[in-house]
Amino acid sequence: MLSSRLVPRASRVSRASSASVARSACRVLRCYSSMPAPNNIQYNEAPFLASSASKALSYLPESVDKSEGTTSMNLYQAVNDAMRIAMETDEKSILLGEDVAFGGVFRCSMGLQDKFGPDRVFNSPLSEQGIIGFAIGYAAVGLTAIAEIQFADYVFPAFDQIVNEAAKMRYRSGAYDVGGLTIRMPCGSVGHGALYHSQSGEAFFAHSPGLKVVMPRSPLQAKGLLLASIRDKNPVIFMEPKILYRASVEHVPLADFELPLGQAEVVKQGSDITLVGYGAMVYQLEKAAQLAKQKLGVDCEIIDLRTVVPWDRQTVVESVNKTGRCLIAHEAPRTNGIAADVAAEIQQRCFLRLESPVCRITGVDTHVSLAFEHFQLPNVTRIFDGIKKTIEY
C-alpha cells in the first residue's frame, strides 16, 4: 500500500506537470499573439455562401428546371435532402448505419425511414467492417448503397473492406463493380473532440486507387456533391465536416441537381497569392484573406478543391501561374497530407512562375489534445502569418 507521505509529493508532481503544460501553452499563445486565439469564425457571414435565390440557382446546369426555386438549409438538412432525392429517383437504393433509422446522431437521416420504410433505411450493428462489407456486397450486384459511419475516426476497422475490396472491385473483376457505393462520414474538429472525434483522414483514402474522396464546404455544395457521389460509377468517400452541420445557412435549390466531382471552384478572384483548401478550412482561408487585404493590401485568390481525389490540377495550376504564390491549408496532419501532393504538383508545373516557396498550413503531426485542439489546427492567425511570409519572401 502506498504511504500517505507520498501523496503530497504526488500532488507536487502533478502541479509541476500542470505548470509545465501551462508554460508550453503560453509559449504557443505568444507565437500567435497578434490575434485572439482561437480565432472565432462567423460561418454564416462567409461571402461565398449563396445568400440569395439567384446566386444559388446560378449553380444549376442549364438542363435543370429552376422553377422549383430555393429554400434555406443548413448542411445536415442539405445532406438529408440529397439522400431523399437519391432514394426517390432510385428505388434500389438503401441507407444503412448506426442509428440512421431515427435520424442519426447529427439528424442527417431524419424522416427517411418514415418515408422509405425499414427495408430501405435501417440500423446496423455497431460494426464498421460489417456496415461497409454489407454495402459493398449490395453495390456489387448493381444496386445503390449509402453507408454511414457515425464518426470518421471510427472508419478504420473497415479499412480492409474499403481499400482491399471496394477500391479494387472494378479492377480485379470482369463482372462486378461497386460504383453504387457511397460512404458518408462526419469528420474534423469541433473544438472539443480530442483523440477520437477530431480526425480528418482523407489522406488515408487518397492513397488507394479506385476511390474518390469529396468534402463539401456548405449546404448547397453538400447537396450537389452528394447526389453526384451517389450516382458516380466509382465508390466515393463523402466526408462531412461536422462543425459545419449547423454553422451556416444558405439558399439551396429544391431541384435534383449535381455538382461535378473532380472540379474545383474559385470562390474568390485575386491577383497576389492563391489560397487552396477544402471543407471547413475554406472559411478560415476567407477570413485570413480579408485580414491580408486590410493589413497588407494583399489580394488573395481562394480555391475550394471540393473533390480531394481526384483534385483539380488545372484550376490550381492556372491560378498559381497567375499569382506566382500559393498557400495550402487543411486540418489533417502535415506529413504526407493532401497539401504535400498539391505543393509538389505546383512546384513541378509552375516552377518558373513561382515568386516564393509554396506554403503549407496544416494540423500538427501529433494526436489532437482536448485542451489545445484550437492551437494544433490551422486558424486565421496561422494562415495570415503564412500569407505574410509568402508575400515578403
88 is catalytic: no
Q: Which of 98, 148, 165, 197 is catalytic?
A: 197
Nearest to 220 by CA among 190, 191, 244, 195: 244
Three-state DSSP state, 259: coil
- Dist. CA 238–CA 191, nearest whole Å: 22
- Dist. CA 277–CA 378, nearest whole Å: 11
Which grid cell is 314?
Answer: 488545372
Nearest to 385 by CA among 332, 342, 327: 327
- Dist. CA 327–CA 273, nearest whole Å: 7
Q: What is the CA radius of gyration of the chain?
A: 22
Which grid cell is 20?
Answer: 509545465
Cα distances (angstroms) measured from residue 389 to each of 17, 110, 253, 295, 338: 35, 46, 41, 13, 21
- Dist. CA 125–CA 108, nearest whole Å: 19
Which grid cell is 239?
Answer: 466526408
250 is catalytic: no
Which sequence positions are flagged as catalytic? 128, 197
